[in-house]
Amino acid sequence: MKPPTSFQWLVGNSVVSLVLMLGALAVIGMWLMGTATGWAAFAAAIVASVAAKASEKVRAHAAWEREWNGGGGGGISLPRHWRLVPGLAAWAWLAWLSLQPSDGDPTLELASGLFWIGNAVLAVFVVVRFFRRGSPRRGKAIVVQSCLAVPMRSPSVREAYQALPRFDG
């Protein structure tokens, strides 16, 4: 399978995708309140759909790579900064915007409220994930054994190629 492009890696990771979708939701909310233009809401919907498609492409590639590696759970060999730095930068920018004085403007108060509600949902998700799986730094050793009763023959080249996972996408 062809790996996602750099843009898809950047936009498709879960943190950046979530922040872009929350920002798009805020702009659409502003449009519903009457302070943003229809073009801004349309552009926000396009940004949200691009983020969703890129996120799906990254997830599909991760699933394919996991299957290709034999289910070892290795996942994507993506550098950590690709996931953390862009997401934290986008979050910091949106947090800064939400902390600016709104001067009683209900649209800005709505956008700020939606941002912090989204952060609360994200915090609950992180806490639940942490307690369900344990600390991400704590590795768990998995012993894999394979017992064969009789020595098996090696597959032919054709059989080996037919056993490879296929991805139609």
Domain ranges of the chain: 6-140
**Has residue 43 got a pLDDT over 90?**
yes
Of the pLDDT bands very low, low, confident and very high (cuts 50, 70, 90), residue 3 is confident
Higher-confidence residue of 105 and 72: namely 105
Most confident of 70-74, 134-138, 161-165: 161-165
Report the pLDDT value the prediction gives residue 154, as an integer from 0 to 100. Answer: 80
Q: What is the mean pLDDT of residues 78-100?
A: 75
Q: What is the largest CA-CA distance in the chain?
A: 78
Phi–psi pair at 127, nearest 5 degrees = -65, -45
Q: In sequence order, which residues have a C-beta less than 8 Å from that of residue 21 and are 6 or more positions away?
A: 48, 51, 52
Alpha-carbon distance of 108 to 116, in angstroms, equals 12
In angstroms, the Cα distances linking 62 to 21, 72, 136, 147, 166 are 21, 12, 18, 29, 14
Look at the block and give the residue holding tokens 């872009």: 20
Alpha-carbon distance of 37 to 137, in angstroms, equals 46
